[in-house]
Structures are given as C-alpha cells and as structure tokens.
Amino acid sequence: MLINLKVILYICFDIFRYKINLILKKNLDQKNFDKLEIINKKIIKEKKNSKKKILVASFVHQYGYIYTECLISNHLSNISNARIYGLMDQNDETTQSFFNSFQFCKNFYLAKNNLFISLFNLKKTYETFKKFKNLQDFINFSYKGIDFGKLIYDHYIRNSGDPSPDKLNFKFLYFLNETLLIYSNVKKIFEVNKFDYMVMSERQFIPSMIIFQIALSKKVKVIGRVAGPKKIGVYMYKSINQKFYADVQIDKKIINKCIKSKNYNKYIFKGIKLVKEIIYNRKRNLDPTCLYDFNISIKNKSQLINFDKNSDKFFELLNLDKKKPTCFIFSHNLLDGNLQGKSIFIYKDYLSWLRETLKFINKLDNSINWIIKEHPSNYGFSKIKTNLKKEYDSLIEENKKNIKIFPENFNREIIPKVADGVVTLGSTAGLEYSCLKIPCITSAGIFYSGNGFTIEYKSKSQYLNYLKHLSETLLIKKKKLKSDKAIINYYLIYEIMRFDHPLLFDFDITRSMNEDNFMKKIFQLNEKINLNRYNQFENYFQYQIKKNKIHFINKDKL
C-alpha cells in the first residue's frame, strides 16, 4: 500500500501546483483576441444548415500551435460546410480565446485535478495496476482497444527525465489513473456528439494520444498538421491501425508514381539539392525540433572547425586510422517521442538502443572507426538524468581508440565525405544520408522504411549481426539500395507535401516565445494577406478532403 500512499501524496501535490500556477498565471491581453476576432471575419464563411461537426483538440498551450490548428480547422470548415467545436483543458483561457476568435460553436473541457474524483477512481485503478508483473507487461497494456501502456510509458519518459526506467513505480500508477479518467470523460463527448473530423496537431503523450485513439476508434478522421511553423502540410488519419504512424510517412504508391513521372529528373535534381543544402549547413534543418542545431552552428560559426576537402584533418584530430571503414551512429533525443512513428517496437526506448549499441561495439575488434553523434534537439537537456557523453564514458573502455563522439565544434558537412555507413534507430539521418548513397542501417517500421533504400533490422539479433559484420553487410547491401527512392521520399516530405501559408511565419516554437510579438506579426500578415495564396492552400486541402487522400499535395511543386 506504500505505492498508493505515494500516489495520493503526488495527486495532492499536483493539485496544489496546478492551483498555484493558476494564481501566478500571466493575465491575458483580451484586446488582442478581440482584434483577431474582427480580422478573422474575412476568412470565415457562413455555415448554412450544417450538420457536420469538426472537433479541434488542443493541449499544447502555445500560441503558434493553437493558432495554426485554428487556421487548419477554419479551412476544413469552409471546405466541408461544418461547424467547429473545441476540446481543451479546463481554465485554459488562451486556447479558449483563440477558439472564440474563430467563432467555434461550443467548447468541451477536460476537468483538471479534481481531488475527489482522482482519489475515488484510484482504488479501481490500483486493482488493475497490481496485476502487472513487470514493466514490459505494463507497456503492452491495452484497455478497450486503446493502447494505454505505450502512451503512458512515453509520457513518463518525457516528464520524468528518466529516459529508460527499469521497473514500475508510483508515477506509472498516477499516470494510469489520470489516463482512465480522461478516457471516461472524452469517451462520453464522442458518444454524445458525432464528429466527422478532428483536428489535432500534437498526438503524443497524455491527454492527446488518448483522445487521438478514441477518435480513430469512433471512425472520426483526424487531421494533423505536418511540419511548420510557416511551411505546413496536412495528414489525414483514417484508421486505428495508423495510431503510431508518423505524419511524414509517405504512401509507397506515391513514391512509385513519382519514379514513373515525367518530372522524375526534376524531383531528383531538386530533392538532392535540398538535402545537400541542409547537410552542408547552408540551410536550417526542416525538422522544427532541430532549430537548436542550426542556431548553435550559426552562433558559433567562427568557432566551427571546417575541413573543406581535407578529410585527412578529420582523422588526424580524432586520432583515427583513415584506412579503416568509418561508420556514424546517430543518437536521438532520449526524452522525445520514443514510441511515436514506429509500427515495430524492437527497443522499448532510445536509451535502451543506445546502450546496447555502445556495449556491443565496445566488444568488437578495432577494425571499424565508430563515430557517435548527439541529436541536435536540446529538449530536456536540463532535466535528463543521463546523456550521450555519460553513457559513452560508462560503457566505452579507454583503450577503444576507434570509438569517438563527434565533437560539437566540428562542421557536420564532413560527415558525408568520410562516412562509409550510418547507423540509427529511426532518425531523419537514415533518410538524408541514403539520398547521398551512403548505406544506412535503420530499424524496420519507421516512417521511411520499406522503400528499399535502407538496410533494415527487424530484431535485436539481426541488428547486432549487422554491426558485427558491418564491412560485409555494407558491401553486400550497398549495390541493392535505391537512393533515387530516398531522394523522392525526401522531396515529397519537405516540398511537395508542404505549403508556405500566407498567415503563418517562422515563429518561436518554444514556450518562451514573445506572445505579444507573435500577435503583432499575425495582425501584420492579416493586413497584407494574399487571398489568392490563402485560397490556393484551401483548394489543395479541398482536393485532399474530397478525394479522401492521406496526403496534402502542393501542386505548385509537382
């Protein structure tokens, strides 16, 4: 019963923290939203005799994210002649103000931190919790067709700073209790209201992943924003089977269609140009989470060590034998999205994969140069309990001179010039370097797998065998890899399926954004709006909806 006591204390603490945050919360400048409501009238169409319903579920609490969801839902409302409803956290004045400025019909609320309900439900939750024999048993837990265990595990990692827990503790019980309460609340909303679509940009963690799965189980099509901040696309989820799909997972039929297209050479030319601009540091990585990498490289540009065409300098500085094959291992942000975008779960989290990789290469002979690169996203650095450097120091022996960490002050443009191979679990590196004809070993079941341009492992034993026989694996597989498919996949994701929206800009995606400046910029964009561009996005979106397509297609780029 000690674990129950800890949960009760944590529930009380969480309620106290929530109440304090409400008191200390910055007052909202309602004048900004009154002005936005007036401005929005020119893009909102009247809904005549509409029975269709759109639900916008927003739980990120960040101005740019909420505003973008509202824009997408308004486009969808205009296209389908549907009324818009909102779903948000209780007492979330910011989200409610954005929803009101877009004339949502009604808002639904998730009750936050009700002590009586939480404690009343805890007894029933504990009866379920104590049946789990171990952590893996918990991770595999599903409830009425909804995958609870994986989403709670992912949420725990994100919020605890522990990237690879090895046993159950009271916080898993706390999150399970919260998840069951949210499920009960949201299920009633979907049973009473028949929604045709739900707009939801962020689908990971609690409560979003719960709501996302409920919507799909109720046959509600989920419209997700792709990328951003300015250049966005739209992905349509139509089946519960897509619950772990990444929104950049391209239908293989589209890739094959582009291969046979008369514009094939154009796609290859523009695609490889885009990849090189990013890898050679001339352009920011198009993944919003990698803003950190670009900003650091620009900020410390004068301190970067550049190699030009002198790869010998790279090997000299790291004291490596140039004659040996060189393989780069790309790590991940250990706290972010461990299970999202994966249909096959070989490792329970990124840290488990990293540890097993380091332990294994440490046992191998010194015939390969192994270079491990840290992930560019800095999310969670302040609270994480470990990192690549700590893991390296604890697992790699001092005499292993052939295993190095890629120094932060090295210009990353040297990588494709010296890499004979790349290893990752599921990072974009596997796609990027495949475009440059560098063999990439990746997990199966990730967003770009199954297309014939990566060497995929479907089990731990297969993965370790690839590492053990790396030179032979690269030699045998390299000739079979289809780099043209990788280039077209890349161009589809970052160009053909995105559109520069005229009412968006490259805003700060963090919670430290200057909100007043954000609103000023939004007003400026609205004042000089190019309605033709606005309508063009809506027309492409309309084609997607009418044809019931998964992907948004920017026909300007075809």
Q: What is the pLDDT of residues 190-207, one digit of tens each?
A: 999 999 999 999 999 999
Contact 514, 482 (CB under 8 A): no
Domain harbouring 215, CATH code: 3.40.50.1380
**pLDDT single digits (tens) 65-85:** 999 999 999 999 999 999 999
Q: Looking at residue 295, what is its pLDDT?
A: 43
Contact 216, 222 (CB under 8 A): yes
Instruction: Tell me: do 256 and 285 sit in the same domain.
Output: yes
Residue 296 has pLDDT above 50, yes or no: no
CA 243 to chain centroid: 13
441 DSSP β-pair partners:
423, 455
- 175 is a domain residue: no
Domain count for the chain, please give it.
2
Helix, strand or coil, per DSSP, at residue 86: strand
Instruction: Tell me: do 217 and 296 sit in the same domain.
Output: no
Calculate what percentage of the chain has a pLDDT beyond 90. 84
Instruction: Tell me: do 190 and 331 sit in the same domain.
Output: no
**pLDDT single digits (tens) 451-506:** 999 999 999 999 999 999 999 999 999 989 999 999 999 999 999 999 999 999 99
> Dihedral of CA 100/106/110/113: which sign?
positive
Helix, strand or coil, per DSSP, at residue 189: helix
Q: In whole numbers, what is the pLDDT of the chain averaged over residues?
A: 93
Instruction: Tell me: do 426 and 486 sit in the same domain.
Output: yes
Sheet-wide strand order for 369-373: 403-405, 369-373, 326-330, 421-423, 440-443, 455-457
- Of the three residues 443, 465, 496, the one that is the final residue of a domain is 496
Instruction: Tell me: do 482 and 377 sit in the same domain.
Output: yes
Instruction: Tell me: do 243 and 261 sit in the same domain.
Output: no
Instruction: Tell me: do 259 and 321 sit in the same domain.
Output: yes
How many angstroms separate the first and last alpha carbons of the chain? 62
The stretch 290-303 carries a mean pLDDT of: 51
**pLDDT single digits (tens) 111-165:** 877 888 999 999 999 999 999 999 999 999 999 999 999 999 999 999 999 999 9
- 52 is a domain residue: yes
Q: Looking at residue 285, what is its pLDDT?
A: 56
Answer left, alpha or beta for residue 461, where phi above 0 means left and psi between -120 and 50 means alpha: alpha
Alpha-carbon gap, residue 552 to 259, rounded angstroms: 19
Residue 94: which pLDDT band, with cuts at 50, 70 and 90? very high
Alpha-carbon gap, residue 410 to 475, rounded angstroms: 28
Answer left, alpha or beta for residue 500, where phi above 0 means left and psi between -120 and 50 means alpha: beta
Q: Looking at residue 298, what is its pLDDT?
A: 44
Calculate what percentage of the chain has a pLDDT beyond 70. 95
Residue 385 has pLDDT above 90, yes or no: no
Domain that holds residue 54: 13-113+184-247+535-557
- 439 is a domain residue: yes
Domain harbouring 351, CATH code: 3.40.50.12580
What pairing do the DSSP bridges indicate for beta strands 221-227 and 197-199? parallel
Residue 288 has pLDDT above 80, yes or no: no
Residue 293 has pLDDT above 50, yes or no: no
- Of the three residues 496, 512, 547, the one that is the final residue of a domain is 496
**pLDDT single digits (tens) 305-344:** 988 778 999 999 999 999 999 999 999 999 998 888 899 9
Residue 235 has pLDDT above 90, yes or no: yes
Instruction: Tell me: do 233 and 325 sit in the same domain.
Output: no
